């Protein structure tokens, strides 16, 4: 079933099997992260689960990190591996470990609980900084300090809350100040930077480790708005310097900014951007089709989503398929239909199947499909919560053999010479690659591969 590489199986976080790990190349067992759970084999693991899973290629994670380290910024700048939202659906702890092996210097999350999860895993060295770039609320301050998670502050109130929580430390606690230069999400507005800088300057317990902003249009061809954000940031940085603050890190570049080399800082005194954050591109995807320098780094997709046929049958003409009967078989003498055990409850979007246009009342079908025996098989009828159906008539005829239960199907990724990319799926759904991987559900076990 799997290549002869290290494989780790992680069951859905909502289920009874959490953080299962295995080594196919060594012991061929699955082991729960807690030693009280007995070891089970890979075959036993799949005996307890339907045959739907996502393979996470940790070698690809390491490759993508090295591409940025050696090509995007081949200098001494620190690389931050962004593992928020459970590493965009790939698994935060496993991806974090791979990124660190490849040379990432720090980790970034969006919420305090994501940072706590990494710390409590026991698999992230205590010396590795974990930066929470998103939500900060005053009642979280003690948790940030207890678990050594670097918070983002954006107000004087936030500074005071962290200062109070860290008052018993025998060292200065690091914080990063985020400035809203045009994203309109979180961050201090430029007019507030002076007062926040003053509060940090007066603090006896805090250390302004970093100052940053976030580009909202760095993945677009027109860079004029990004340049305005850079100019706004540089003006704010002047206010910070007036309060004798010397942050170690200045950063704004996300995956898109890293590829297009957006710099920030005051060119007169060499205070320049010295850290960059890699999010979506760590998982093998370019931020957008408009990236002018996307060929600068060669990325490898990390996730492959697979399932297996659970039933195959021949239906005579006139047989309706799935809810609403939107699809009706018409081939003679029969249409071969295969059922797959995956649906919208797993993040496989309902819109990929047949749907009724509420404005026109007409049934529409994207013509979307999956890969079986290296060929595309189209979805027929609506995608259900737990299953959907595909037409395999032509595939069976091409190979001269019926499609049978247990045959492997690729929902996302490569099979033979054919491929379904995350970009293609996101375009079909009118969304972005980020959403596709983030929504692969908790019921889908992640199988981690390494050593290829």
Q: Is the preceding omega at residue 321 within 30 degrees of 0, hence cis?
A: no
Strands 335-340 and 388-391: antiparallel
CA distance linking residue 423 with residue 330, whole number of Å: 32
CA distance linking residue 67 with residue 146, whole number of Å: 35
Question: How distant, in Å, are the alpha carbons of 256, 257, 276, 284, 341 from that of 221?
Answer: 11, 12, 20, 20, 41
Question: Band of the pLDDT at 258, cuts 50, 70, 90?
Answer: low
* Per-residue pLDDT at 262: 52
CA distance linking residue 349 with residue 351, whole number of Å: 5
* Per-residue pLDDT at 107: 98
175 contacts 159 by C-beta, under 8 angstroms: yes
CA distance linking residue 374 with residue 370, whole number of Å: 9
| Region for residue 348 given its phi and psi (left: phi exceeds 0; alpha: psi -120 to 50; beta: otherwise) | beta
What average pLDDT does range 357-366 have in this prediction? 80
CA distance linking residue 55 with residue 220, whole number of Å: 31
Phi, psi for 26 (deg, rounded to 5): -115, -75
What average pLDDT does range 302-309 have in this prediction? 98
Please report the sign of the dihedral spanned by the C-alpha atoms of residue 402, residue 408, residue 414, residue 416: negative
For residue 391, the 8-state DSSP code is E
Interval 185-214: pLDDT, tens: 999 999 999 999 999 999 999 999 999 998
Which DSSP string corresponds to 196-260? HHHHHHH-SSEEEEEEE---SSTTSS--HHHHHHHHHHHHHHHHHHHTT---SEEE---HHHHHT
Residue 280's Cβ-side half-sphere holds a number of Cα atoms within 13 Å equal to: 22
Interval 120-151: pLDDT, tens: 999 999 999 999 999 899 999 999 999 999 99
Query: Which comes out higher in pLDDT, residue 148 or 22?
Result: 148
Phi, psi for 171 (deg, rounded to 5): -150, 165
**∠ CA 351-395-51, rounded to 5°:** 60
CA distance linking residue 201 with residue 207, whole number of Å: 9
Asked if pLDDT for residue 160 goes beyond 60, the answer is yes
**Among candidate residues 235, 233, 215, 234, the one with its CA nearest the CA of residue 225:** 215
Work out the percent of the chain whose per-residue pLDDT is above 90.
Answer: 67
Query: Which comes out higher in pLDDT, residue 74 or 145?
Result: 145
Which DSSP string corresponds to 62-125? HHHHHHIIIII--SS-EEEEE-HHHHHTT-HHHHHHHHHHTT--EEEESSHHHHHHHHHTT-S-
Q: How many residues does the chain have?
A: 452
| Region for residue 28 given its phi and psi (left: phi exceeds 0; alpha: psi -120 to 50; beta: otherwise) | left
* Per-residue pLDDT at 264: 53
Mean pLDDT of the chain: 87
Residue numbers annotated as active site: 84, 323
* Per-residue pLDDT at 221: 74
Q: How many CB atoms lie within 10 A of CB 302?
A: 29
CA distance linking residue 406 with residue 46, whole number of Å: 12
Interval 429-441: pLDDT, tens: 999 999 999 999 9
Q: How many CB atoms lie within 10 A of CB 27?
A: 11
Token pair belonging to 347: 């993040």
Interval 274-300: pLDDT, tens: 888 999 999 999 986 665 566 778 999
* Per-residue pLDDT at 24: 41
**∠ CA 240-246-249, rounded to 5°:** 100
What average pLDDT does range 301-324 have in this prediction? 97
Token pair belonging to 383: 């995608």
* Per-residue pLDDT at 289: 67
Token look-up 């290296």 returns 374
């Amino acid at each position: 079933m799997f290549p002869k590489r290290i494989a780790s199986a992680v069951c859905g976080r909502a289920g009874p099997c959490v953080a299962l790990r295995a080594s196919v190349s060594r012991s061929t067992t699955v082991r729960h992260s807690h030693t009280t759970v007995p070891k089970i084999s890979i075959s036993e693991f799949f005996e307890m689960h339907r045959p739907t899973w996502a393979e996470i290629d940790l070698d690809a994670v390491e490759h993508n990190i090295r591409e940025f380290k050696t090509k995007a910024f081949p200098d001494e700048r620190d690389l931050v591996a962004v593992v928020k939202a459970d590493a965009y659906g790939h698994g935060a702890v496993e991806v974090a470990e791979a990124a660190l092996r490849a040379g990432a210097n720090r980790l970034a999350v969006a919420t305090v609980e994501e940072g706590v999860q990494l710390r409590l895993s026991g698999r992230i060295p205590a010396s590795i900084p974990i930066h929470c770039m998103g939500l900060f609320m005053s009642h979280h301050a003690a948790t940030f300090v207890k678990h050594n998670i670097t918070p983002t502050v954006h107000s004087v109130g936030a500074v005071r809350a962290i200062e109070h929580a860290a008052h018993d430390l025998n060292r200065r606690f690091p914080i990063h100040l985020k400035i809203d230069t045009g994203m309109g999400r979180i961050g201090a507005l430029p007019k507030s930077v002076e007062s926040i800088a003053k509060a940090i300057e007066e603090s006896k317990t805090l250390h302004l480790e970093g100052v940053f902003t976030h580009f909202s249009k760095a993945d677009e061809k027109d860079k004029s708005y990004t340049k305005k954000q850079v100019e706004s940031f540089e003006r704010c940085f002047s206010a910070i310097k007036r309060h004798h603050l010397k942050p170690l890190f200045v950063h704004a570049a996300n995956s898109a900014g890293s590829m297009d080399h957006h710099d920030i800082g005051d060119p007169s005194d060499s205070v320049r951007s010295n850290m960059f954050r890699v999010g979506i591109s760590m998982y093998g995807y370019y931020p957008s089709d408009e990236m002018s320098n996307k060929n600068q780094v060669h990325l490898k997709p990390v996730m492959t989503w697979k399932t297996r046929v659970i039933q195959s049958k021949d239906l005579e003409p006139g047989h309706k398929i799935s809810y609403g009967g939107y699809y009706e078989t018409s081939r003679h003498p029969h249409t071969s239909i295969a059922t797959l055990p995956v649906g919208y409850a797993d993040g496989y979007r309902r819109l990929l199947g047949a749907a009724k246009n509420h404005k026109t009342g007409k049934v529409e079908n994207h013509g979307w499909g999956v890969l079986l025996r290296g060929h595309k098989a189209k979805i027929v009828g609506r995608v259900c919560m737990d299953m959907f159906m595909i037409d395999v008539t032509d595939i069976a005829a091409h190979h001269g053999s019926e499609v049978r239960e247990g045959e492997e199907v690729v929902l996302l990724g490569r099979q033979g010479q054919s491929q379904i990319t995350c970009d293609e799926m996101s375009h079909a759904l009118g969304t972005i690659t980020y959403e596709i991987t983030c929504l692969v559900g908790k019921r889908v076990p992640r199988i981690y591969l390494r050593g290829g």
